[in-house]
């Protein structure tokens, strides 16, 4: 009771003679000033962030608040990207919460910032005055900077054509100015982007393939793609064909013309060699689309073999069969004046003159 009387007397507006008197007493009561003079301001305490956390697009700043002799009606929040010093002029307002709900909090949009020493503070208002500022115990980091661009190497296939279909890609941590790299994403050609770890060793099909990589940090900031690394895989030997004399089924001469074709979708056709039996082969020679060739001796079916080889020394054999027939003999019949009896074989199914006298030339 004595404290209340002292508060009211100290804040009273003096009336009449200076000091207390029997007419006016201590003066006119000023309840507001009496309350203010003897008020205990609200106390706010930063709850979060308070552990040196990392944030990206936004931060929810939370505080608890109480008042020893009343209620807290507002809590104000500020941030500083440089220091926790209370008198520093760079403290900037975040916002004021006037409806505590489950606690005092405001959300601060931080997408435009990047700083590794961010401080927040809070203070409470009890309806009469603001309390002291409470600064977070540990600064936190706002990280909107993606990781650095990684460098990728390939250690199995190399840069030339190869028969190895399992390239091995490797890389090291490219570094991140903020929260550190969380994981890596890789992409081969235009396929799906997938999460990968080093070393990454996929199995690929024939052809040229390009691999690239990017890093993602703890806050999902995604970095720039690495320079692509290309491998060239060729596991298929050359394709090809061979025909004799334009595709004829038979010939009467051992001297023939070969028509050759070959292609290779990978390293390319390097050379070819030929054989009449598939066992003994002629020397390797540059590929050519046409070549004069001599069949083996003796009548009957003859097979010519060709072997194509690509630049990775992968080989494929092809063949073509043709029948070597005996060449019909040439003869001359001298006929005298008058009737001459000459006999020719006749095919009953075709007794025409053209059939009977096929290949016979008459001269005068």
C-alpha span between 7 and 38 (Å, rounded): 7
When pLDDT is cut at 50, 70 and 90, the band that residue 363 belongs to is low
Count the domains in the chain: 4
Listed residues 233, 254, 270: the one ending a domain: 233
Q: What is the mean pLDDT of residues 301-322?
A: 98
Whether residue 79 is contained in a domain is answered as yes
* One domain for residues 197 and 247: no
Is residue 268 domain-resident? yes
The CATH number of the domain holding residue 164 is: 2.60.40.10
Is 194 in the same domain as 247? no
Q: Looking at the structure, tell me whether residues 200 and 266 fall in a common domain.
A: no
What pLDDT is stored for residue 177 in this prediction? 87
How long a stretch of residues is the chain? Answer: 364
Which residue did the predictor score with more confidence, 18 or 44? Answer: 44
Kindly give, in sequence order, each residue whose CB lies less than 8 Å from that of residue 283, ignoring residues fewer than 6 positions away.
273
Residues whose CB is less than 8 angstroms from the CB of residue 229 and which lie 6 or more positions away in sequence, other chains included: 152, 153, 154, 169, 210, 211, 212
Identify whether 74 is part of a domain. yes
Q: 199-205 contacts: CB < 8 A, separation 24 or more?
A: 199/155, 199/168, 199/169, 199/170, 200/168, 200/169, 200/170, 201/156, 201/166, 201/167, 201/168, 201/169, 202/166, 202/167, 203/165, 203/166, 204/165, 204/166, 204/167, 204/231, 204/233, 205/165, 205/233
Q: Per-residue pLDDT for 239 more than 60?
A: yes
Residue 313 near residue 237, CB atoms below 8 Å: no
Residue 63 lies in a domain: yes
In angstroms, the CA 172 to CA 5 distance is 75
pLDDT value for 327: 75
Please write the tens of the pLDDT for every residue from 43-93. 999 999 999 999 999 999 999 999 998 899 999 999 999 999 999 999 999
Asked if the model's pLDDT at residue 156 lies above 90, the reply is: yes
* Boundary residue ending a domain (119, 142, 165): 142
On whether both 81 and 129 belong to a single domain, the answer is yes
Q: Can you give 24-73 as a three-state secondary structure string?
A: CECCECCHHHHHHHCCCCCEEEEEECCCCCEECCEEEEEEEEECCCCCCC
Residue 340 vs residues 18, 67, 331, 343, 346: alpha-carbon distances, Å: 178, 148, 17, 10, 18
Q: Is residue 329 in a domain?
A: no
Q: Report the DSSP pairing between strands 161-162 and 229-233.
A: parallel
Does the predicted TM-score (pTM) go above 0.85?
Answer: no
Among residues 80, 114, 142, the one where a domain terminates is 142
Q: What is the mean pLDDT of the chain?
A: 88
Q: Is residue 200 part of a domain?
A: yes
Same-domain status, 127 and 157:
no
Mean pLDDT for the stretch of residues 355-363: 59
H or E element at residue 301: strand 300-310
**Domain membership flag for residue 107:** yes
The model's pLDDT over 168-208, given as tens digits with 9 standing for 90+, comes to 999 999 999 888 999 999 999 999 999 999 999 999 999 99
| Sheet with 161-162, edge to edge strand ranges | 161-162, 229-233, 207-217, 181-188, 194-196
Query: Beta-carbon neighbour count of residue 168 at 10 Å?
Result: 16
Who wins on pLDDT, 324 or 347? Answer: 324
| pLDDT score of 1 | 44
Specify if 338 maps to a domain. no
User: Do 137 and 50 lie in a common domain?
Assistant: yes
Residue 101 has a pLDDT of: 76
In percent, the amount of the chain with pLDDT more than 90 equals: 74
Q: Does 56 share its domain with 137?
A: yes
277-295 pLDDT, tens digit each: 999 999 999 999 999 999 9
Per DSSP, the residues of 205-248 read -SEEEEEEEEEEETT--B-PPPPPEEEEE--SPPEEEEEEGGG-
Identify the domain containing residue 202 by its residue range.
153-233
Verify that 243 and 306 share a domain, yes or no.
yes
On whether both 64 and 135 belong to a single domain, the answer is: yes
Tell me which residue of 14, 9, 16 sits closest to 27, measured CA to CA. 14
pLDDT of residue 257: 98
């Amino acid at each position: 009771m004595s404290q209340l009387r002292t508060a009211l007397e100290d804040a009273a507006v003096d009336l009449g003679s200076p000091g207390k008197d029997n007419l006016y007493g201590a003066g006119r009561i000023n309840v507001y000033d009496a309350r203010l003079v003897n008020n205990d301001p609200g106390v706010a305490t930063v709850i979060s962030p308070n552990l040196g956390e990392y944030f990206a697009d936004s931060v929810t700043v939370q505080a608890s608040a109480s008042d020893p002799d009343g209620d807290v009606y507002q809590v104000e929040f500020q941030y500083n990207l440089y220091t926790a010093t209370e008198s520093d002029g760079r403290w900037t307002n975040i916002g004021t919460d006037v409806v505590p709900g489950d606690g005092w909090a405001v959300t601060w949009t931080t997408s435009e910032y990047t700083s590794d020493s961010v401080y927040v503070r809070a203070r409470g208002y009890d309806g009469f005055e603001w309390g002291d500022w409470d600064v977070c115990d540990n600064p936190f980091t706002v990280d909107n900077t993606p990781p650095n661009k990684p460098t990728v190497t390939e250690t199995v296939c190399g840069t030339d054509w190869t028969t190895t279909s399992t390239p091995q890609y490797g890389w090291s941590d490219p570094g991140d100015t903020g929260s550190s790299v969380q994981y890596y994403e890789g992409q081969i050609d235009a396929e799906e982007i997938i999460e990968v770890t080093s070393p990454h060793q996929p199995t690929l099909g024939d052809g040229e393939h390009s691999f690239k990589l990017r890093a993602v940090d703890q806050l999902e900031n995604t970095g720039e793609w690495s320079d692509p690394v290309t491998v060239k895989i060729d596991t298929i030997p050359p394709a090809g064909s061979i025909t004799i004399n334009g595709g004829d089924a038979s010939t009467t001469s051992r001297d023939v013309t070969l028509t050759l074709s070959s292609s290779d979708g990978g390293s390319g056709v390097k050379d070819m060699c030929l054989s009449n039996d598939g066992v003994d082969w002629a020397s390797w020679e540059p590929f050519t689309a046409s070549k004069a060739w001599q069949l083996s001796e003796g009548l009957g079916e003859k097979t010519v073999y060709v072997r194509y080889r690509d630049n990775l020394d992968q080989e494929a054999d092809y063949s073509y069969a043709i029948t070597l027939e005996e060449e019909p003999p040439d003869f001359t019949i001298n006929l005298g004046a008058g009737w001459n009896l000459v006999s020719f074989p006749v095919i009953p199914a075709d007794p025409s003159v053209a059939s009977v006298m096929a290949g016979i030339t008459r001269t005068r």
